């Protein structure tokens, strides 16, 4: 128990240091002062009321409160010491210093993508033209063209311009890399192999085995099943098609291909079930832990994999001793020790999911399995109940226990609530154990003799194909996931957290449960009513709706036809802002947009992130093919791009028509017609680029980049207030206008 509270204080100190701005000296002073005061109070004021309370162990914590304050200061000191400004001995000190020569070695497994290779390089020396080399320390992320082979420990010399990692709209790639100890980025440098080997021999052997396994999987299995096996067995899923990866995310079974805490929890349950049929209880637990360790090593031995394996090992130990509370204390202790070694862990999503999933398995797996066994014994024949308890407990209830505690984090970070996961996990997980057994054996034995591996692959391939096809089918079910947006995610996450907290304190809350049940029932009915009304208000009402959004890097225009078809024109720099705006105006269970129109060159930066949540059925452009992240997303989605030319018309439904009315290098202007309503969407063009016939007084311009120029040309211009929105509704005769912020 004392270590539990000290670990909690340490983690809280790390969290507080992130936003305090204090240096190591202040945090060290805080910890030292707490220790000195604690020692003085114990020595000189042993019986002085509150002084005694501060110096003696608290009955619940078994620890003096001043010692907790010291632990809090130590946590802040650890974080502050890890985030000191870079000095001349740090690689990040030379970011932006111009052309440099860097010498180091490959310190990670090459991340091979379709267009690039991302390589982690540990730099040892750096020099500028005409100067002597200087010893430095730090890791570098290098972006290289595909087609090159690299091995762990290989020594390199790079020539280029190191810089800070880039920012991408609302996603901070710089912070993402910083959490992994990388503060420098180098794109497409000149590269030379210098010979020699660095790094540890064990890591090199593991990386060679992993590379050989990837190559063998590609020979034994057809795509995309080969990519699925690469992700499940080796943790390498970069080659999976974007559409299939999106389907795994939408159905809530991405834990199968992304090795994380959730995945490890599922694997631990499968290993326990497998070995429990062959060995005694303790030997089965030991075999399961060894299997997790071997799997972690084969999957690359990354930090997230090792953390997840440690936490699941604790969960297995807890199941054997039958003390979930004691095991939960050990779980928090392990988290505190991990954060002491790496103070960036509290912000790592994989770490959070590992902790939450393991806690769920410790707290809820046993009660859920016991409750189901008791229910089955009462309601089902004895033989059927005995046959169901094992599979249901292993494949469904263990997963459900982990889902209960990971749900708030998933909703908070990704803004989605997957309903199809309740069906996907029970349907997909039962085949994962034999898939991993046959798939793993096909790789291990295939490395010895390939024909033997090919024979076992014939047993594993149908299971992998079943997984892929089922996930793709479930992802196409309407309303399979609900996009909540930032505010909805926050409320759902808070609600789930309160439910989990109530479950932790269920014994103390039991007397109040009788009084709370009617209130909770009314609250649930109220939430359901709000959801139903929100969905009903978003249904087609026979009117044309146009919503102009003034977003950073916008504006964006959402068109909703009288029959419900939706088309988005424009975008925003931040995907979160655009996604939140769309989430407020589309039905709660909207599967996506009917169309996307790229009418101008601006606002594309944040579109790719928003389109992952609301994918369009068709994409139109009159500004050429997009580049960057949006271009990559469009190519991966295999939607194709329909280029618009002058005079081309689009029909959203039988009455709503969009026609290309003007053309320029910046894009195109469109004329929208619905009944007697006529609107002009300038699309970045100026009035002189539009035919004079369209600049009539009865035409409204909406979304103009330069409203003043359009007013001077004789058009009435509608604008959204800064940072707000403007909505137009029309039945083809009358027009209603509403705005807000």
pLDDT tens digit sequence for 507-550: 555 565 555 555 555 555 555 555 566 566 667 777 888 888 87
The pLDDT of residue 474 is above 70 = yes
Find the mean pLDDT for residues 174-201. 84
What confidence tier does 105 reach under pLDDT thresholds 50, 70, 90? very high
Which band of pLDDT confidence, cut at 50, 70 and 90, is reported for residue 123? very high
Rounded to 5 degrees, φ, ψ at 185 are -135, 140
- Mean per-residue pLDDT, 215-232: 85
Residue 46 pLDDT > 90? no
- Closest-CA residue to 353 (of 317, 305, 314, 319): 305
CB 725 within 8 A of CB 549: yes
pTM: 0.65
Asked whether residue 489 carries a pLDDT value surpassing 60, the answer given is: no
HEC sequence for 558-573? EEECCCCCEEEEECCC
> Mean pLDDT over residues 549-566, rounded?
80
Q: Is the pLDDT of residue 317 over 60?
A: yes
The answer to whether residue 727 scores a pLDDT higher than 80 is: yes
Q: Identify which of 61-65, 151-155, 230-234, 502-506 has the greatest average pLDDT.
A: 151-155
Spatial separation of the C-alpha atoms in residues 85 and 96, rounded to whole Å: 15
Give yes or no for a contact between 560 and 537, defined as CB atoms under 8 angstroms apart.
no
Position with higher pLDDT, 685 vs 53:
685
Q: Is the pLDDT of residue 84 over 60?
A: yes
pLDDT of residue 338: 81
Query: Which residue from 116, 248, 212, 691 is spatially nearest to 444, judged by alpha carbons?
Result: 212
Query: Which of 1-10, 104-113, 316-325 has the lowest average pLDDT?
Result: 316-325
Compute the average pLDDT of residues 110-133.
85
Q: What is the pLDDT of residue 436?
A: 77
User: For 19-35, how does the pLDDT look when each residue is reduced to its tens digit (9 = 90+)?
Assistant: 777 888 888 888 888 88
530 or 394: which leads in pLDDT: 394
Q: Is 726 helix (H, G, I), strand (E, B) or coil?
A: strand
What pLDDT score was predicted for residue 189? Answer: 92
Nearest to 565 by CA among 653, 657, 504: 653
**Higher per-residue confidence, 322 vs 381:** 381
Residue-wise DSSP of 617-632? S-EEESS----HHHHH
Return all residues near 671 (Cβ < 8 A) that are at least 6 apart: 658, 659, 661, 678, 679, 680, 681, 694, 699
Query: What pLDDT does residue 305 have?
Result: 72
**What's residue 246's pLDDT?**
77
pLDDT at 124: 92
Q: How high is the pLDDT of residue 122?
A: 93
What is the rounded average pLDDT for all residues in the chain?
Answer: 76
Q: Where along the chain do its domains lie?
A: 2-82, 91-199, 207-486, 544-740
Measured between alpha carbons, how far is 231 from 64 in angstroms, rounded to an integer?
47
Asked if residue 346 has pLDDT above 60, the reply is yes
pLDDT confidence of residue 591: 65
> How does pLDDT run across 665-676, given as a tens digit for each residue?
667 777 888 888
pLDDT tens digit sequence for 674-724: 888 878 777 767 776 666 665 554 566 666 666 777 677 667 777 777 777
pLDDT for the residue numbered 268: 75
CATH topology of domain 91-199: OB fold (Dihydrolipoamide Acetyltransferase, E2P) (2.40.50)
pLDDT at residue number 6? 82
Binned at pLDDT 50, 70 and 90, residue 158 comes out as very high
Phi, psi of 18 (to 5 degrees): -65, -35
Q: Residue range 40-59: average pLDDT?
A: 62
Instruction: Read off φ and ψ for residue 407, nearest 5 degrees.
Output: -60, -45
Asked if residues 546 and 727 have their Cβ atoms less than 8 Å apart, the reply is yes
DSSP result, 358-383: HHHIIIIIHHHHHHHHHHHHHHS-HH
Q: Is the peptide bond between 555 and the residue preceding it cis, with omega within 30 degrees of 0? A: yes
pLDDT of residue 155: 92
- Residue 258 confidence (pLDDT): 64
Percent of the chain with pLDDT over 70: 73
Q: Say which residues have a Cβ less than 8 Å from residue 544's Cβ, sequence separation at least 6.
A: 559, 560, 561, 562, 656, 674, 677, 728, 729, 730, 731, 732
Binned at pLDDT 50, 70 and 90, residue 50 comes out as low
Other C-beta atoms lying within 10 Å of the C-beta of residue 712: 10
| Residue 481 binned pLDDT confidence (cut-offs 50, 70, 90) | low
Q: Is residue 593 within 8 Å of 615, Cβ to Cβ? A: yes
CATH superfamily of 544-740: Ribonuclease Z/Hydroxyacylglutathione hydrolase-like (3.60.15.10)
Is residue 123 within 8 Å of 102, Cβ to Cβ?
Answer: yes
- Give per-residue pLDDT as tens, 426-468: 788 778 777 877 887 888 888 888 888 888 888 888 888 898 8
Joined together, the tokens standing for residue 155 give: 């020594």
> What's the distance, CA 239 to chain centroid?
18
What average pLDDT score do residues 181-201 get?
Answer: 86
Q: Which of 86-100, 295-309, 395-409, 461-475 has the lowest mean pLDDT?
A: 295-309
Q: What is the mean pLDDT of residues 400-404?
A: 75
Q: For position 140, what pLDDT does the model report?
A: 92
Q: What pLDDT is stored for residue 178 in this prediction?
A: 80
pLDDT > 90: percent of the chain: 5
């Amino acid at each position: 128990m004392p270590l539990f509270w000290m670990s909690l204080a340490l983690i809280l100190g790390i969290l507080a240091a992130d936003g305090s701005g204090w240096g190591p000296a202040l945090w060290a002073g805080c910890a030292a002062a707490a220790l000195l005061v604690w020692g003085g109070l114990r020595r000189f004021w042993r019986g002085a009321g509150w002084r005694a309370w501060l110096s003696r162990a608290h009955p619940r914590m078994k620890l003096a409160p001043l010692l907790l304050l010291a632990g809090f200061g130590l946590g802040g000191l650890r974080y502050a010491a890890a985030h000191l400004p870079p000095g001349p001995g740090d690689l990040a000190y030379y970011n932006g210093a111009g052309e440099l020569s860097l010498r180091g070695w490959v310190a990670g497994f090459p991340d091979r993508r379709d267009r690039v290779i991302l390589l982690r390089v540990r730099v040892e020396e750096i020099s500028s033209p005409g100067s002597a080399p200087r010893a430095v320390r730090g890791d570098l992320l290098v972006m290289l063209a595909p087609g090159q082979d690299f091995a762990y420990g290989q020594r390199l010399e790079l020539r280029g311009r190191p810089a800070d990692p880039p920012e991408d709209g609302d996603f901070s790639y710089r912070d993402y890399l910083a959490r992994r100890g990388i503060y420098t980025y180098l794109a497409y440098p000149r590269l030379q192999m210098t010979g020699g080997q660095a790094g540890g021999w064990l890591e090199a052997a593991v990386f060679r085995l992993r590379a050989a396994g990837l190559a063998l999987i590609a020979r034994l299995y057809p795509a995309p099943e080969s990519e699925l096996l690469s992700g499940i067995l080796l943790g390498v899923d970069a080659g999976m098609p974007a559409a299939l990866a999106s389907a795994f995310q939408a159905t809530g079974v991405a834990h199968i291909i992304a090795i994380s805490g959730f995945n490890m929890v599922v694997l631990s349950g499968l290993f326990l079930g497998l070995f429990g049929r062959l060995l005694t209880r303790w030997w089965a637990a030991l075999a399961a832990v060894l299997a997790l360790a071997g799997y972690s090593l084969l999957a690359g031995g990354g930090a997230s994999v090792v953390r997840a394996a440690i936490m699941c090992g604790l969960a297995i130990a807890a199941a054997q001793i039958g003390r979930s509370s004691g095991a939960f204390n050990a779980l928090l202790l392990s988290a505190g020790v991990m954060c002491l070694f790496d103070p960036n862990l509290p912000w790592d999503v994989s770490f959070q999911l590992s902790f939450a999933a393991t806690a769920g398995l410790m707290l809820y797996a046993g009660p859920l399995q016991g409750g189901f066994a008791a229910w089955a014994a009462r309601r089902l024949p004895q033989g059927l109940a005995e046959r169901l308890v094992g599979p249901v407990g292993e494949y469904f209830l263990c997963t459900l226990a982990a889902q209960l505690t990971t749900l708030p984090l998933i909703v908070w970070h990704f803004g989605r609530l997957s309903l199809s996961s309740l069906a996907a996990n029970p349907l997909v997980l039962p085949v994962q154990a034999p898939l991993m057994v046959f798939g793993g054996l096909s790789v291990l034995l295939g490395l010895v003799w390939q024909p033997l591996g090919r024979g076992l692959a014939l047993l594993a391939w149908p299971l992998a194909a079943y997984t892929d096809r089922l996930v793709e089918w479930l992802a196409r079910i309407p309303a399979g996931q609900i996009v909540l947006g930032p505010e909805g995610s926050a409320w759902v996450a808070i609600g789930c957290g309160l439910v989990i907290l109530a479950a932790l304190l269920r014994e103390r809350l039991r007397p109040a449960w009788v009084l709370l049940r009617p209130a909770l029932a009314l609250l649930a009915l109220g939430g359901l009513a709000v959801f139903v009304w929100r969905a009903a208000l978003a249904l087609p009402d026979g009117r044309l709706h146009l919503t102009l959004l003034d977003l950073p890097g916008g504006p964006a225009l959402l068109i909703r036809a009288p029959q419900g078809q939706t088309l988005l024109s424009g975008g925003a720099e931040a995907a979160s802002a655009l996604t939140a705006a769309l989430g407020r105006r589309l039905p709660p269970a909207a599967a996506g947009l009917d169309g996307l129109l790229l009418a101008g060159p601006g606002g594309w930066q944040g579109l790719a992130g928003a389109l992952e949540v609301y994918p369009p059925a068709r994409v139109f452009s009159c500004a050429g093919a997009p580049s960057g992240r949006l271009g990559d997303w469009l190519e991966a989605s295999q939607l194709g791009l329909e280029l618009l030319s002058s005079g081309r018309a689009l029909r959203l439904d039988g009455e709503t028509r969009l026609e290309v009315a003007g053309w320029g290098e910046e894009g195109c202007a469109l004329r929208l017609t619905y009944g007697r309503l006529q609107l002009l969407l300038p699309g970045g063009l100026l009035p002189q680029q539009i035919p004079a016939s369209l600049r009539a007084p009865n035409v409204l311009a909406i979304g103009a980049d330069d409203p003043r120029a359009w007013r001077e040309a004789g058009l009435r211009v509608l604008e959204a207030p800064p940072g707000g929105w403007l909505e137009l509704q029309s039945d083809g005769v009358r027009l209603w206008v509403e705005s807000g912020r």
